Structure formats: C-alpha cells, structure tokens
Structure 1
Amino acid sequence: MRLWTLHPRFLDTKGLTAVWREGLLARKVLRGETRGYTRHPQLIRFRAHPDPLAAIDAYLAAILGEARERGYNFDASKIDERAAAAPIRETTGQLGYEWLHLLDKLRRRAPDRFNDLHGQHPAPHPLFVLEDGDVQDWEIR
C-alpha cells in the first residue's frame, strides 16, 4: 500500500489507478471493514488525524479529481468527495524520498513519463502541508 504524499498529477496511469485502489482499501481499514492491513504504516498519519475518515475521503477526492482531469472514470460513489479535513503535516524529507521512489518506478515502467518529470520539483498532495524534516520513521525503506 502506498498513499503518496506527492501530488497525484505526477503519477502515471498505473500509479494513479493503484493509489485509488489502495486508498479505497485504506478507507475500509479505517472504517473497520477489513481484518488485513490494520497496522500498515501508511495509515499512521491518517489514524492520527482528528477525523480519519474525512481525511481519507479528502485524500481520495483529490485522486478522483486528477482521474477526471485525465478522462478516467473512477467510481465517485465509493467516497464522500465533499469531505473536508484539516491538513496533515508532512516532512520535506518524506516528500523527497517519495519523489525519488516514484522517479525510479517511472524510469522502468514509463520512460516517457520519467523524462517529463525528471528535473521538476515535487509538490505535495493538497491534503498535506510541508514542514522541514526527515523521512518518516514509518517509511519502509
């Protein structure tokens, strides 16, 4: 499971589809509707949010918005796309780590996308507000 800190505009088709699917799984976990993934480290920052369900829906709403921009047909009925959530603080180190991780994936599976992004600076998903700091301890490296 990877719930990217990166803005969804950077993801390729496979990445955008995967984060939608994995976000929906995270939503089920946060709602107590699954037995698996309950201790997955990607969920730590959502569980720490004052309203975890609103946070995951706000996260997924931005993914849905990007999908619509690209002409994809993700099922909006699976989330509350009007959910409002306070921003989640995230570190510049975490964003940078994910950026390099994404570029490495794109280098192998989508070289054209890699070439488009190489040299750009990463931006966070709209739910996240950056502060200086290292890669999170929960990140699996």
Structure 2
Amino acid sequence: MRIWSIHPEQLDVRGLVACWRETLLAQKVLQGLTKGYTRHPQLVRFRATDDPVQAIATYLHAVADEADARAYSFNRALLVAAPDPDLRIEVTDGQVDHEWQHLLAKLALRDPQRHDMLRAASPRVHPLFEVVPGPVADWEVR
C-alpha cells in the first residue's frame, strides 16, 4: 500500500489508479471493516488525527479531483465523508524527498516520458499535507 504524500497530479496513470484503490482499502481498514492491513505503517499518520476516517476521505477526494481533471471516472459514492478543507496533516520534507525519489524511480521504468518531464521539477504535496522540516517518517518501510 502506498498512500502518497506527493500531489496526485504528479502520479502517472498506474500510480493514480493504484493510489485510489489502495486508499479505498485504507478507508475500510480505518472504518474497522476489514481484518487485513490493520497494522499497516502508512495508516499511522491518519490514525494520529482526531477523525481518521474523515482524514482518509479528505485524502481520497483530492485523488478523485485529479481523476476528474484527467477525465477518469472514479466512483465518489465510495467515499464515506465529505472533504474537510481545513484539515492538514504534517509531513516532513525528508519524507517528501524520499517519496519523490521513489516515484521517479518507478516512472523511469514504467513511464519514461513522464519521468523526463518531472525529474527537473520539484515535488508538490497532496493538499491534505503541510510540509515541515524533518527526516523520513519512522513508519516508512525502507
């Protein structure tokens, strides 16, 4: 499961679809509707919020917004809450850089054209996240 801190607009098609599917699974986990993935490290930052289900739904809405911008059809009826435009979760610049390098490595293999377009760019973060100084997150599997 990869719930990117990177803005969905920077993901390739496969990355965006995978992010959508995997975060929908995370939503079920946070709702207590599945027995699998309950200890997944990527969920730590959502569980640390006052309302983890609201936080994951807010995350998913931004992914769906990017799908809409690309004329893809992601089913928003699967989202269990409206987005909270004021909600922010901190992410460290070290974590963002780690994910950016991970994304670029994936793109080099599966979408070289997108890789070439993004490698000179700076990472943008998902609108749910606010960047703060710090290292790669403790929950990150390295």
Q: Please report the TM-score for the alignment, with normalisation by the length of structure 2.
A: 0.97
CA shift, 1:64, in A, is 0.0
Which residue is 1:23 aligned to? Answer: 23
CA change 1:50–1:26 in 2 (3 A) is: same
Which residue identity lines up with residue 20 of structure 1 in the other structure? W
Distance in 1, Cα, partners of 2:44 & 2:81: 22
Please list every run of 5 or more consecutive structure 1 residues that lacks an aligned counterpart in the other structure. Answer: none
Greater shift in the superposed pair: 1-10 or 81-90: 81-90
Distance in 2, Cα, partners of 1:105 & 1:119: 15
Distance in 1, Cα, partners of 2:20 & 2:134: 27
Distance in 2, Cα, partners of 1:81 & 1:40: 22
Alignment size in residue pairs: 141
Which residue identity lines up with residue 130 of structure 1 in the other structure? V
Check the 8 A contact 2:54/2:81 in 1, yes or no.
no
Which residue is 1:121 aligned to? Answer: 122
Two-structure CA RMSD over aligned residues (Å): 0.9
CA shift, 1:80, in A, is 4.2
Alignment of 1:76-115 (within 5 A): 76-80=76-80, 82-84=82-84, 86-115=87-116
> Which of structure 1's runs of 4+ aligned residues deviate more than 4 A?
none
Distance in 2, Cα, partners of 1:83 & 1:10: 21
Percent identity, please: 50
Q: Please report the TM-score for the alignment, with normalisation by the length of structure 1.
A: 0.98
Q: Deviations over 1:37-61 (max 9, x none)?
A: 0000000000011110110000000
Please list every run of 5 or more consecutive structure 2 residues that lacks an aligned counterpart in the other structure. Answer: none
